[in-house]
Amino acid sequence: MGELSVRELPLFPLPDVVLFPQEILPLHIFESRYRIMLQSVLETDSMFGVIKWDTTSKTMAKVGCCAQIIKHQTSEDGRSNLITMGQQRFQILEIIRSTPFYSAMVTWISDDHVENLQKLDSQKDLVKEALSDVINLTSKLTNTKKNLPDKLPNNPMELSFWIGAHLGGPVAEEQQRLLEERDTYTRLQREYEMLDHTRKQLAARTALKESFPDIKEN
């Protein structure tokens, strides 16, 4: 990502969207200001910042994730379809302009160095086990075959980002907290609590379904 720890980055605020490192985000660009931004980004290093926009308070989050364009296609009417991939996380230091598009001075952020790797690994294993249980119980309840992805990251930090990105439901606030967290263990711990809560709910519903098989699931 370059040696500079502070740089200018064009920003693309998205309502209730939180991008995590290594995740794919397809985007459709049609507004003129973002067409201008796209042109500028493609002329440089194909990087821009995806940042969560709060539609209620009309404010941007302070931490986002840099997106790199890996594929783009522009139609005759000027609209573009992009495939982007999440790279490094950043923190906004200062918004330096808001027209025609937002641009900010940002600094890259990363997780703190971990002292106790054994503790981190055991937390990662707990999270994987809870995730596996949630998927198996969901399969039972819905009579569908769901499996853990083959290429689930084994690195604790990468796994914590993967889980953050794949949380179900309207969870943008929680995802934003996980993105901003700079301690891998704490992020995994929070995800374990959420998965364990879901696992217990699903187990109760599975037991109910097995005891009363005629009850229809909503």
CA distance linking residue 213 with residue 210, whole number of Å: 5
Indicate the SS3 state at residue 163. helix
Structure tokens at 125: 């294993």
CA distance linking residue 49 with residue 60, whole number of Å: 12
Instruction: Report pTM.
Output: 0.88
Q: Which pLDDT score, from 0 to 100, does residue 2 have?
A: 44
Structure tokens at 158: 């990468």
How many CB atoms lie under 10 A from the CB of residue 104? 23
Structure tokens at 178: 């996980």
Q: Which pLDDT score, from 0 to 100, does residue 217 have?
A: 53
Q: Using 50 as the pLDDT threshold, list the residues of the chain that sit under it.
A: 1-3
Q: Which residues sit opposite 51 in a β-bridge?
A: 13
Q: Which pLDDT score, from 0 to 100, does residue 3 have?
A: 46
